[in-house]
């Protein structure tokens, strides 16, 4: 399983916010923003701060992807 933060980036676009705005609103480091941009693991405290800043649920900013499935849904 892999984590994707595509939902977070779409939410920022919908709210007309930039990554720098999120960093300030949530009080998180630029290193955390970089990790999110690379779909790397971040501390749950970071995710909680983002959810509070954007007034959303965890499912609104991330999703789990099954890496073993191909684009057409078949298992590789």
- pLDDT for 25-45, tens place per residue? 999 999 999 999 999 999 999
Count of CB atoms situated within 10 Å of the CB of 47: 19
Domains and CATH numbers, the chain: 2-65 (1.10.260.40)
Distance CA 46, CA 51 (A): 9
DSSP at 69: B
Contact yes or no for 49/26 (Cβ under 8 A): yes
Residues of the chain with pLDDT under 50: 76
Tracing tokens 């955390």 back to the chain, one arrives at: 32
């Amino acid at each position: 399983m892999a984590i994707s933060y595509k939902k977070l980036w779409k939410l920022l676009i919908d709210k007309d916010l930039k990554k720098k705005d999120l960093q300030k609103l949530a009080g998180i480091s630029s290193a955390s923003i970089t990790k999110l941009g690379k779909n790397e693991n971040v501390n749950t405290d970071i995710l909680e701060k983002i959810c509070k800043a954007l007034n959303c649920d965890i499912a609104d900013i991330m999703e789990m992807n099954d890496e073993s499935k191909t684009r057409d849904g078949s298992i590789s």
